Every structure is written in structure tokens, then in C-alpha cells.
A and B are shown apart, each in its own frame.
Chain A
Amino acid sequence: MPGKLKAKIVAGRHLPVMDRASDLTDAFVEVKFGNTTFKTDVYHKSLNPQWNSEWFKFEVDDEDLQDEPLQITVLDHDTYSANDAIGKVYIDIDPLLCSEAASVISGWFPIYDTIHGIRGEINVLVKVELFNDLNRFRQSSCGVKFFCTTSIPRCYRAAMVHGFVEELVVNEDPEYQWIDRIRTPRASNEARQRLISLMSGELQRKIGLKVLEMGGNAVVGYLQCFDLEGESGLVVRAIGTACTLDKLSSGSAPSTNTHIHPNTAPASNACNSPSKDGKEPVFGEDLPSSSGPPTPFRALPTSSSSPPPFSPSKPCSRQSSSSDTDLSLTPKTGMGSGGSAGKDAGPLKTLLRQQTQTALEQRGASSSGLLLNAREFPFFTLTSFPPGFLVHAGGVVSARSVKLLDRIHNPDEPETRDAWWEEIRQEIKSHAKALGCHAVVGYSESTSICEEVCILSASGTAAILNPRYMREGCLDIGSTDHRFEEPSPPSCGFCHIPYDELNMPFPAQLTYCYHCRRQKVPDVLFTTIDLPPEAAVTGKGCLIQARLCRLKKKAQGEVNATAISNLLPFMEYELHTQLMNKLKLRSMNALFGLRIQISVGENMLLGLASATGVYLTALPASGGIQIAGKTPGDLSNEHHILTIQKRINDTIAKNKELYQINPPELTEEAVGSPIPEPRQRSRLFRSHSESSDELSELDLSHGKKDAFVLEIDDTDAVEDIHSLLTDTPPPTGFYSCNTEIMPGIYNWTSGVQMFTSVRVFRLSNANLTNQGLNKIFTDLCENLLKSFYFKLRSMIPCCLCHLNVTVAVPEEELIQVAVTAVAMTFDKDQTQEKPAEKVIQKGSGEIEEQLQFPLELCADSSSTSTQQSSKISGTVSLLTPAAKLCHNQLVMVRSAGVPETSNVSSRAASVDYGSFADRCSTWLELLRLKAHTIRRGSVKTSRRTQSLAHSVSSLERGSPLPEGRSRSLRSNRSFGGSSVTVVKMTPLSFLPGTRIIKYLGIINMFFIRETTSLREEGGVSGFLHSFIAEVFAMVRAHVAALGGNAVVSYSMKECVLMENPNKNQAQCLINVSGDAVICVRETDQEPVSSSTNIGQSCSSGTDGGAT
């Protein structure tokens, strides 16, 4: 009985006219939570009613508090007929359940109707009184914090990272229930919205329970998705990374100005080398292992895609040898398919309740299985990490599987879906193993559904992590310890190969690191994570997209699934080839934030790969692209090839200039590395290519670097090269990337414009070829980018960050592309240097020196901390050499790109791998003990920390940049604030020029909008335009009501549009999420009255944004 929810309805405004006779409305409000409903009095004849109701009190379980939304319905009273609904507001009260988040919800909420959209606003006040409940068997998980942000949230530090948490719940989709035939569209939409709200509440609660069991207090990188499986049901699933977070005292919160945050400093024993040769199975094909669960699907050949022809056999073998494959799969599925039979169309609530219980019973039955589970999948949804956390990145691992959907016979048993994901995750895990990695970071999962076929995808970056941050046993460290033998500088350490050079999982070309010269690096590195802030980069990055369409025959059932799974490997391969070619064309050598999406439609598959290309100083320079003809001797052909080669060379030269890629020339001796035979390596990449002997005679490559050879052997290849060259670079002053921030740009100013754009393209029904389709699709994407550049031209110089593109095939012959991104302005005069970095590093060093306790657990470890830790126990001495490096490191950051040879003083002697794990674990225990001390000690030291923070910020103020910024803010002050709080939104985890001082809770909203007067609303465009604007408005209103002034890590997870112009109808579903925060200008110590503060910076932002 541990909670009392109180709600008060204050007033309404701008209500719609409900009574045509008087042009007024007699409004009243129903407030519902669970099964309890209260009503306000009717406020007669007003469009701006003042109810000023009493406090409505609901006494409820905290379990309900987590699952249920508060539902507010505004109605028009009608004496003679039924009362008309004006609209509803659903308020998620979860943020109130966590003491560190919001304490009250108060503000104006748009009244939303699924048919009419926003119809006026209502002012509501909500509070929760929680009673302490120490019941160990509780089913609620109040107090666990959730973050969409895929890094450790600013103003927290990670005391411990526990690992992967996942959960899914299923239900019948109300839209497909029999009752839907007799109820109104409104009722059906509302049932759906409410169900999804309940399901995500439940999901969050269950994940929270898992986190508590693991001993954590937060979920970071929380990613929740819906699978609308149509007839077969509705799946809500979520993954995240369980952590124990400690709140930093507000004074010492690191500044949010990314790259400058104090932690950048370094250190640590980041060790050595990961890598991956691009051509290789970065996309290791997936094929669910044959050990699939005994589901009906198992028998289908279609349930797995076949191994791609190009997939090297090595990883496979390694995979099988190293993976400990006996998972808990079997017991789980046993339970699942046995299935309790009875499910009938009982009331929703009952269904859900049942479901919850069964799920919990299972959990209870095998709570040890939970722990196991975490260990089973050493996955992390984070994409950026505290310095020192990521030791090596091995390369992208991905897995896809094609499944046939079947009605979920019993919603209480989501086991089939669980098993599917389990399978995929196993796959990923073994891929990582094959790359010599013990963990997967930047991990994400997605689905694409068309009719009864579903493609499940998962991808991430194989990595080796520093076990210091992990819970014991979370990673399987035993086999990987050799990697800690030798520390390497953080600016290049993550690029060093994690796998064994002599036993490489794939043929890769390795060289010694161009930065530290001590470890091997691959020639190309692909990852799904953000560029580590400490990485040494040459020039700027840019968005690289590979786009692909493949036609397929229309088919049903198994045949269809087989066709799709046969196509998948080819698509992955093509996409990969495109990415590689485009990367070379830009003279870059690494991809970050790689996201490959494959979308299935009735008669085609769409593939879109987006990533941010960058030139990592540590990796070798790209050798350019060389064109080779298939038929030598043909003069005209040869001439043609020469022309193309020239164009390519020109483009490369132009790109080098554009992205300022001018790595220091290295003398050949410096690169004394065993380079595999070049010919072998660069043998072409096109699927149809055969080796041609003439190749060696054509030497158009640049110097001694190995050129990447493209063979022109058929018309397809010509087309491909054309498309390669048609990518237009962004106009002057614009940059774009799909990672959080643009590599090479460090001085953001405060102009921010988040936007969502959706385009749907109808293909003419003419017989299209794959090539034709590709062209259309490419043009579509290119044009979309062009129109962003045009719209945002007044913000120049500016960068489109976190450009998140999703494609879908909503219907036959339709291609839908949806983009959410943020345009941010920067100061173009200083793009070359990381401003003030050194100063701040010094600042953070000071802080640590004066703290009483060691900070090994803290995000950064620097000299002091390691000295102290070495006192604690002898075992730690292993790490000491790494820490010593950090002094050198400061120097190195400044001179990034210049070969640094002086820093290799002490190499750790080679270590006995076996014992290392043991030592680590004892060491970890020690650390854990200390973590407690730290938590207790934090109160004592807070004052000091604050004063230090103050000195840091005064340093900041001293630097020219912030001053300029504050001046520009002041100049905008003249515009009076309006009554509406300005809420900024961004898909990034921070807002430039501001500091996040408080996280208020997660925003996770699902809306449905439907219309039966499509033409009157301006067609589909008009309909969707206003719907998206309404979604933004509702997000902003909720954030403002929580007391926030910004949403970070905002994303639009789902945008499903269905239209029927003939019937003048359309329906759209949108799911958005993000973290509500309070942020202040970087230079302010205290939150300024939020509306004015942000208003100013906003107006400056939009000065740019509009015009």
C-alpha cells in the first residue's frame, strides 16, 4: 500500500466550442487512475474554465504507480444526450517515484484527441507521497532511474556498470480484437494508447526489478521499441545497461560542453589494440545457430539466413571453439511452449495482471537465472564511455534473422519472442568472441515487419572493456587478459586490435599504430559507438551513407521468408562495399555510429547504412581507389576507365581539402610492419569480380600506399561508380554526421534546432530494375539532405548532428524515410583546436589531488588516483605503468598526429593470463568496498569539491569563448519572455553552452492520430505535419510540467503512417522518447528562471534557424 497519488485540476484554456448554439462549452473533467475515477464540477459556458478542484487522492500500490498512467479526460456536459469527450491527457507519473527526479508535476498540458488532435489545454497538479516499503518481495522497482542517454549521464558518475538488461511483454493489439469492429475509431485508438502506456510502464518496472536484483540503481541507454505485429499481436521490448550511478554534487558536475569535460584527461591503462579489417566480416553474418529453440520455426529453413558466400570461414570455427554455448535456452523455452492455455478476451487489466504474475513467477522460480543472464550477454547499450572504460574496439558485429510471425497464442507467455532474441544475442556474442573480444558495446536491436515476416536485427561493436568498472563476473575476462599487458595512450588505444595477430579471425592488414607505434592496428575500423572524445583525429568527419534497394518477388509464408533470408547476405555485402568505397573516396579510415537498417516490404528490401566517417590518426592512410578494367586492350574502354579514374582522383583530392585531411607524411621506415601481400588484400570487393592479371600493371595508386581496387567488369559496376560519385558534399559551411558530435569541431555555440522530417515516395508501377530503384532511393536520401541544408542555411556555420535516418516500406511501391537530427551552430574560427582542453584537464587534476579518497571508480583516473591505489594492494601494480603515462598524455593530446616515441618507458612484463583474472577479482572486491566509503565520504568533501568546481568555472570564464557566448545571449535579452516555457529538444546527450543540473525522468510517449477528413487537413502532408508538431508540443508540455527546460537524447522510435486517400482517411502512430532535464547556461551556478534563460538562448538559436 505504499503510495498516495494526488491530483488537482486547476483550469482549462482555449477549449473548442462544443455547443454550436452558444459558441461555448460546459466542460468538466474525469480523473482516472487504475479503477478509481473522480469528477470535477461542470464549469458552465466557458472556453476557459476555472475548476480549481479539490485534491483527488488515489491510494495505490507502487506497482500500479509504475504501470499505470494518470488519465485525465475533459468532457462537455450535455443534459439530454451523452457527454461528448473533448480529449485526454495521459500523465506518466514515474518521474515522481524517484526522489532524485521531479517532485511535482504542474503545468499546462495539451488536451489530445486521437481524431481531432490538440483541443485546448488543461492545467493540472500531480504529487505522489510514497511510503517506505522494505518488503523484499516487492514487485515494484520505484527509484530505479532510467535514462535514454547512451552515455553516463552528466552530473552522475558510474560507480559500477552491471551489464545488460532486457525484457519484453506481449499482448493482443486492440486494433485487431473482435470488439474493434463495433467500437469507434476513437475508442480503439484510445484503447491502444492506453495499452501501450500500460505495457511500457510494466516493462520499465520489470527491468527496474532486474536492475535492483543486480544491485544497480539505474538503467542507462534505455531503448524501448514496439513491434506492431498486426494480427499476431503487440510486442513491447526494451534493452538497457544497468549501472550504479552516484550523483555528483551539483557544483562539481562536469560541464556539458562535451569535449571539454574534465574527464577527458586521461589516463588509465587503456591498453592496446583492436581492429578489424574492413573487408571482412564486419557484418559477420548471422545465421542463428542451429541450436535454435524447439519452436515451430525451428524446422523452417527460413528462420536463419544462410551464410554469406564471402564470410570467411575462420571466424566460424573460432566461434564454435570458444563459445560456451550451453545457455539457459532450453529450460526457458520448455516453459514457454508448454503454455497455459486459457486466455480469453477478458478485460485488459486482468490480462495484464495475469501476465505480470506469470512473468514474475517465472522470475522467482529462477532468480539465479537472472544473474546468469547478465553474464550471458556482456552487452552494453552505451555508445560513449568514461575515459579508460573502452580498451579496444574490435569491429562491428551484427546478426539478423528472418522469422515468420504467428499469432501469440498466449500473451502471458512471451517465450517465443524471448527465444528469438536470445538466439540473436548468442550470435552476436559469438561473433564478438571471434574477434577476440569479451564484450559488445553500442549494442542495439531492431525489427522490420511486413505482413507475417519479421526481420530481427542486432548489432554492436565487439570490444574489450576495462574490468575495473564491471561487476565481478560480468565479463568473461579469462581469455583476454593479455590485452592488459601493456598500456597504450587513450588517443589511439581503442584502435589497437583485440584479437591475436597470429590467429586472426579474418584476413586483415595490420600495421603498427601510427600514433604510438607499439601496437598493431587494422587499416580500417568500423564501429557502432561514438568517437571517443580523447581519440586523435585528423581533419573533420562526415556523414557516409550506403543505400540499397533490392526487388523481390511477392510471396507468402515460408517461401517469402526464404527469399528474404537469401537476399540478406547480399545486401549486407553490397552495403558494406558501398560504405568502404565511400570511405576511401573521402580518404578516411574509420566509421563511427554505424547503423545498418534493412527494411522489408512486400516486393522489395531496403537497406540503409549510415555512419560518420573520420580519419583516425592512429590508422594508416587510405590508399585511394583504383579502377581496373575487365577487358584490357579495348582502347575505348581503357580511355573510359582513365576518365573515371581521373574523376575519382579529383574527388578524393577535393574531399581531402574539404575535410581537411592532411595527415603528417610518414617515412616508410617508421611503418615497419608486416604488411600482407597487397594484391591479395585489395582483390576486389565486387561480388561478380574475378581476379584479373592486368591489375598489377595498372599503377595509379598514390605512392606506396595500397590502392583500393575497383574492377569494372559489367554495367552494374559502372552504375555503382557513378552513384559513388554522385554524392554531393554538403554546401560550404555545413557539416553532417550521425554521431553525437562532429569529429573535428569543438567549439559549439548555443544555436540549436532539432527537427523531424518525413518523406514518402511513391514509385511508379513501371517495371523497375534494382539499379533504377537504387537511383531513386539514393536521390531521395540526397534530396532530403539537400533540403535540410537549404532550410537551415541561416544557421551557417553549422553541423547536422545525430542525423538518424530510418527507412520503411509502408506499402507496396512506397518508400518512407524519416529523419530526426539537430542542427547546431559553431564558431568557425576555432574549429582546429580543442579549446581550453589543457586548462581544464589541469583543473580536474587538481580536484582529484585534493580529494581525500582515491577515485579509481570515478570516470577518470589520473596520476593521483593510481598512486593511491598502488598503496592499497600489490595487485594493482599491474596497472601502474598505464597511469604513469598520463603525464605524457597531456603532451600527446596537444601534439596529436605527431609520432610520439618518448612515452614507452616501462612495459609490463608479460603476464600469466590465468592468474590475472583472479587478481582482478580480488581487486574488484576491494574497489567495491571502497565504493561504499566513497559514498559515505561524499558528504564530507562536497564543500571542497564545490569550491574547486568554482575555480574551474572561473577558469572557463577567463577563456575568450564563453565570454563571447554570454555576450551574444545578453544581446537577445530584450525580447520579453512569453508565458510558455521554452523547451529545447535535442537527440544529443547535452546542449551546447549549457550544463545539465538535474535529470527529471524519462519521457516515453506513444500517440495515435487518425483522420477521416484527410483532404480537409491538407492531405497526408498536412496531416502528418500537424501531428508531428502536436507530438513536439506534448513532449514540451510534459517536460515543462516536470519543471524542466530541455529534452536530451530525444528520439522518434516509430512513425507508422497508413493512408487511404480514396476513403479520405489516414492513421499515424508515433513513439518518442528522451530524458527531461533542467539545464543552465554553462557560466551560471544556479538555475536561472528557466523560461527567460532558455528563451534568450533560444531566440538566438532561431535567429539563425529561421529567417
Chain B
Amino acid sequence: MAVELDVFVGNTTIMDEEVYQLWLDGYTVNDAVKVRMEGGVLEECETSADVLLSDTMDQYRTFQMCERLLHSPAKLANQLLFQIPPHRQAILIERYYAFDDAFVREVLGKKLSKGTKKDLDDISAKTTVTLKSCRRQFDNFKRVLKVVEELKGPLVENIRQHFLLSDKLARDYAAIVFFANNRFETGKRKLQYLTFQDFAFCAGQLINNWTVGAVGEPVDHQRSSRVYMDVDLDKEFLQELKELKILITDKDLLDQHKSLVCTALRGKTKAFNEMEANFKNLSRGLVNIAAKLTNTKDVRDFFIDLVEKFIEPCRSDRWTAADMRLYLTHYTNSAHILDTFKHQVVWDRYMGVIKSCIFKMYHD
């Protein structure tokens, strides 16, 4: 004696947000039923476990059928199979594309390839995010990457339009796509303390300032041979960064820079001595990072370099966040006063991003 078939179909598709979340989280039907029972629905609605099971199965089936549509959210609005009110469609999409920070932290910067996909079970074990959910999130990343990498125009806007996501989520996806595309290393032990939001912020900075799309109007770029895109870093800019090397290779310039910064800082911070002592090292660190960015390999190590060459030394000298702010502001501004330093524009474009990234990354 068993229920062989059990379906319930509403003219307006019925979806329970709680069950949807359980489905997204990769719970099996039975586990989902357990969770719901623990939530106390049974008592609340005077019902039985059978009913709950049947309801959960129905909903799971509905979600599975909808999943195909969620892969291209624009279709959800003009498909005919499910009658879903618009605000509910928006919720479905937003939730489907939402991801776990713990999970995304693991794949951030990795190539979104089959190889990585194979590692998902390890990631699942490590993050306690279910494998099913990991797969969904991973596939979402891949899907978004695949669509936007062939599109011109601003990355965030493209994502928002094609996937009908909220602004916040679209920005996060832009970060993920950007990291995946440039293969930034984020997995090293030294970077473990950084959250996804730290990286997402940095990605936003890079996208807005260092990509081709960041400079000027698309019109210019249509004429030029370069493709207007902000998935890739601006190659010309990276070349120009090499010019900054003069700041450390020219002995005079380096000394002059140091004295300007030290004059400005003197008396304003407890860490002044350490700053003075380390100035040359720190400056070399930052400028070398800039100079090496033409190598793809070094681009990948951008964040690890920032941490090793700058953040760690400062942290061991116990700089406060305020110290950091003070130092970087004066460090950046003083370069403008150097007579022989001609690369002010490149310097600002570089340091603007570096400054905000370091501010964001300088925490425990």
C-alpha cells in the first residue's frame, strides 16, 4: 500500500519560500521534511508528516521544472507554463542566484572549469554547504561568466539585465566573474582572513578603475581597436605602470619621496618610527607590484603580493587602521610634489585602487 503518484498543480503556481530555500540549500526531500517538522509546522497547522512529505515533494518537483527557466531568467517573464506573479518571479530569481559566502570564497579566482567542478565535493565537505547547492552555485557562476564574457558594455549592468538580479547581487557576480576571468589567487593561507565581501569590494575598485571600460566613453573605444570590456584589465594601463618604477630605481626620487612623507607624518602617529624605517621597503613593494602587472602570473598574485609586501609588514609593526590611512594618503599625495616624477595620472589611477583595497583588506 503506497502512494504511487501524488501531484498538486495550481493555476497560479504555489511556492513556499521556506521549502524553496531548503531546495536551494540542497536538502533531500526527506531532510527537508525533517527540517520543516522541527520548525513546528505540524503543530501549527494541525497536520501530519505524510501531508508535509507530499507537499515537499510537490514543491521540489515544481522547482525542478522551474529550474530550466531560471537558467535564463528573462524567459521566466514570458513563458506560459507557470503562472507566477512578477514579484514572486523576482524572489525566485534572486534566491536562485544567491550564494553562500563560504562557498564562493573557496572558488573565487579559480578557473570555472570541469577541473574545479570535480573539487566541489571537497569544498562541500569543507564548507558544509551541500554538494547539490555547491553545484548550483558553481553553475550559476559559470553561466553568468559565459553570457557576459561575450558582451560589450559595463559588466554590472550586463549582469543585471540578463539575469534580472538586484544591484547588489549583480555587483557580487561581477566580482566573481572578474576574479574568475583574471584568475586572482585568493586561496593562499595568508589570504584566508579576507572575506568574500573584501574581495568583492576590491573587484569593484579594479573594475571601475583599471579596466578598459573604466576610462572614458565607449564611443572612443569603438573606433579604436580595443574591445570595450571591463572583464579584462586595461593592457595599456598595465604597460604604463612600468613607468612608476622610477620611484624606486631613482635614488634621489626615493629619498625625496621619503622625506616628504616623513615630514608630513611626523608627530601625527605613534608608529612614525616604524614608518620611517620601513618606508623604502614598503614603497618598493607597492611599486614593484605595479611594475609586474604586465605578467599574467603576477596579476594572479596581486592580492597575495599586497598582503606580503605591504599589509603584513605594517601589521607586524602594529599600525592602526588610521595609521594606514594617514600613511597611504601622504604617500600618494607626496608623489605629486616630486618635480621629476611625470606620471601623475597613472600614479593616481594606480594608487586610488591600491589605497581603497588596502583600507578594506587591513583588518584581522
Binds B, one of A436-444, A645-653, A1096-1104: A1096-1104
Within 8 A of A (CB), among B4-58: 4-17, 45-48, 50-52, 54-55, 57-58
- Quick check: is B85 within 8 A (CB to CB) of the other chain? yes
With a cutoff of 8 Å between Cβ atoms, the chain A residues found around residue B47 in the complex are: 731, 786-787, 789-790
A755 engages B7 (CB within 8 Å):
no
B14 engages A1106 (CB within 8 Å):
yes
Q: Which of B45, B48, B52, B75 contacts A14 (CB 8 A)?
A: B75
With a cutoff of 8 Å between Cβ atoms, the chain B residues found around residue A1095 in the complex are: 85-86
Q: Which of B3, B10, B15, B48 gathers the greatest number of chain A CB atoms within 10 Å?
A: B10
B65 engages A791 (CB within 8 Å):
no
B14 engages A978 (CB within 8 Å):
no
Task: Assess A761 versus B4: contact at CB under 8 Å? Given A976-B86, A1030-B81, A1036-B83.
Answer: yes
A975 to B91, CA, bound (A): 12
Q: Which of A756, A976, A1021 gathers the greatest number of chain B CB atoms within 10 Å?
A: A1021
B45 engages A731 (CB within 8 Å):
yes
Closest B residue to A785 by CB, please name it.
B51
B8 engages A757 (CB within 8 Å):
yes
With a cutoff of 8 Å between Cβ atoms, the chain A residues found around residue B3 in the complex are: 759-762
With a cutoff of 8 Å between Cβ atoms, the chain A residues found around residue B52 in the complex are: 790
A1030 to B81, CA, bound (A): 6
Q: Which of A110, A984, A1022 gathers the greatest number of chain B CB atoms within 10 Å?
A: A1022
A980 engages B85 (CB within 8 Å):
no
- Quick check: is B78 within 8 A (CB to CB) of the other chain? yes
A984 engages B11 (CB within 8 Å):
yes
Within 8 A of A (CB), among B84-127: 85-89
- Quick check: is B224 within 8 A (CB to CB) of the other chain? no
A924 to B50, CA, bound (A): 60
- Quick check: is A87 within 8 A (CB to CB) of the other chain? no
A1102 to B209, CA, bound (A): 45
- Quick check: is B1 within 8 A (CB to CB) of the other chain? yes
Closest A residue to B46 by CB, please name it.
A731
- Quick check: is A985 within 8 A (CB to CB) of the other chain? yes
Closest A residue to B84 by CB, please name it.
A1102
Within 8 A of B (CB), among A577-622: none
- Quick check: is B337 within 8 A (CB to CB) of the other chain? no
Task: Assess A755 versus B9: contact at CB under 8 Å? Given A1021-B57, A1036-B80.
Answer: yes
A816 to B89, CA, bound (A): 33
A1018 engages B10 (CB within 8 Å):
no
With a cutoff of 8 Å between Cβ atoms, the chain B residues found around residue A776 in the complex are: 1
Task: Assess A1020 versus B5: contact at CB under 8 Å? Given A790-B52, A790-B55, A791-B14.
Answer: yes
Closest B residue to A980 by CB, please name it.
B78
- Quick check: is B77 within 8 A (CB to CB) of the other chain? yes
B80 engages A787 (CB within 8 Å):
no
With a cutoff of 8 Å between Cβ atoms, the chain A residues found around residue B4 in the complex are: 760-762, 814, 1020
Q: What is the distance, in angstroms, from A629's C-beta to the closest C-beta of chain B?
A: 33
B14 engages A790 (CB within 8 Å):
no
With a cutoff of 8 Å between Cβ atoms, the chain A residues found around residue B86 in the complex are: 975-978, 1095, 1099
Within 8 A of B (CB), among A1066-1107: 1095, 1098-1099, 1101-1102, 1105-1107
- Quick check: is A644 within 8 A (CB to CB) of the other chain? no
B85 engages A1098 (CB within 8 Å):
yes
With a cutoff of 8 Å between Cβ atoms, the chain B residues found around residue A759 in the complex are: 3, 5-7
- Quick check: is B82 within 8 A (CB to CB) of the other chain? yes
A762 to B10, CA, bound (A): 25
Task: Assess A786 versus B48: contact at CB under 8 Å? Given A761-B4, A978-B89, A1036-B80.
Answer: yes
B85 engages A1102 (CB within 8 Å):
yes
With a cutoff of 8 Å between Cβ atoms, the chain A residues found around residue B75 in the complex are: 14
A1057 engages B87 (CB within 8 Å):
no
A842 to B17, CA, bound (A): 47
Task: Assess A1106 versus B81: contact at CB under 8 Å? Given A790-B51, A1021-B5, A1025-B58.
Answer: no
Binary interface profile of A, 733-775, with partner B (CB < 8 Å = 1, else 0)?
0000000000000000000011111111111100000000000
With a cutoff of 8 Å between Cβ atoms, the chain A residues found around residue B1 in the complex are: 761-764, 776
Q: Which of A985, A1018, A1025 contacts B11 (CB 8 A)?
A: A985
A108 to B48, CA, bound (A): 42
With a cutoff of 8 Å between Cβ atoms, the chain B residues found around residue A997 in the complex are: none
- Quick check: is A1028 within 8 A (CB to CB) of the other chain? yes
Task: Assess A762 versus B14: contact at CB under 8 Å? Given A979-B77, A1099-B87.
Answer: no
Q: Which of A753, A789, A1101, A1106 gathers the greatest number of chain B CB atoms within 10 Å?
A: A1106
Within 8 A of A (CB), among B219-273: none
Q: Which of B13, B65, B85 gathers the greatest number of chain A CB atoms within 10 Å?
A: B85
- Quick check: is A1033 within 8 A (CB to CB) of the other chain? yes
Q: Which of A118, A1025, A1026, A1028 contacts B80 (CB 8 A)?
A: A118
B45 engages A790 (CB within 8 Å):
yes
B61 engages A1022 (CB within 8 Å):
yes
A1106 engages B16 (CB within 8 Å):
yes
- Quick check: is A893 within 8 A (CB to CB) of the other chain? no
- Quick check: is A523 within 8 A (CB to CB) of the other chain? no
A121 to B45, CA, bound (A): 40
Q: What is the distance, in angstroms, from A968's C-beta to the closest C-beta of chain B?
A: 14
A789 to B269, CA, bound (A): 68
- Quick check: is B277 within 8 A (CB to CB) of the other chain? no
A787 to B51, CA, bound (A): 5
A759 to B57, CA, bound (A): 13
A761 to B52, CA, bound (A): 17
B8 engages A755 (CB within 8 Å):
yes
Q: What is the distance, in angstroms, from A348's C-beta to the closest C-beta of chain B?
A: 30
- Quick check: is B2 within 8 A (CB to CB) of the other chain? yes
Task: Assess A979 versus B11: contact at CB under 8 Å? Given A761-B1, A1025-B61.
Answer: no
B83 engages A1032 (CB within 8 Å):
yes
Task: Assess A787 versus B55: contact at CB under 8 Å? Given A754-B10, A1021-B61, A1102-B88.
Answer: yes
A1032 engages B9 (CB within 8 Å):
yes
B51 engages A755 (CB within 8 Å):
no
A1021 engages B85 (CB within 8 Å):
no
- Quick check: is B62 within 8 A (CB to CB) of the other chain? yes
Task: Assess A1105 versus B55: contact at CB under 8 Å? Given A731-B45, A761-B3, A1095-B86.
Answer: no
Within 8 A of B (CB), among A103-138: 108, 110, 118, 121
A776 to B1, CA, bound (A): 9
Closest B residue to A728 by CB, please name it.
B46
A783 engages B50 (CB within 8 Å):
yes
A754 to B51, CA, bound (A): 19
A121 to B81, CA, bound (A): 10
B88 engages A1106 (CB within 8 Å):
yes
Q: Which of B7, B15, B77 contacts A1028 (CB 8 A)?
A: B7
B82 engages A1102 (CB within 8 Å):
no
Closest B residue to A1061 by CB, please name it.
B4
Q: Which of B17, B50, B86 gathers the greatest number of chain A CB atoms within 10 Å?
A: B86
- Quick check: is A983 within 8 A (CB to CB) of the other chain? yes
- Quick check: is A239 within 8 A (CB to CB) of the other chain? no
With a cutoff of 8 Å between Cβ atoms, the chain A residues found around residue B88 in the complex are: 1099, 1102, 1106
With a cutoff of 8 Å between Cβ atoms, the chain B residues found around residue A763 in the complex are: 1
Closest B residue to A1025 by CB, please name it.
B7
A1020 to B46, CA, bound (A): 29
A1105 to B82, CA, bound (A): 14
A763 to B4, CA, bound (A): 10
- Quick check: is B128 within 8 A (CB to CB) of the other chain? no
A1020 to B3, CA, bound (A): 11
Closest A residue to B64 by CB, please name it.
A1018
- Quick check: is A1024 within 8 A (CB to CB) of the other chain? yes
Within 8 A of B (CB), among A771-814: 776, 783, 786-793, 814
8 residue pairs from A and B, CB less than 8 Å apart = A121-B80, A753-B12, A755-B11, A762-B1, A1018-B61, A1021-B5, A1032-B9, A1102-B88
8 nearest CB pairs, A to B: A760-B5, A1099-B85, A757-B8, A754-B11, A1028-B9, A755-B10, A1025-B7, A760-B4
Q: A761-B2, A1105-B12 are in contact. List 16 more A-B contacts (CB 8 A).
A: A753-B11, A753-B12, A758-B6, A760-B6, A792-B14, A982-B85, A983-B83, A1018-B64, A1024-B5, A1025-B58, A1036-B83, A1095-B86, A1098-B85, A1099-B88, A1105-B14, A1106-B14
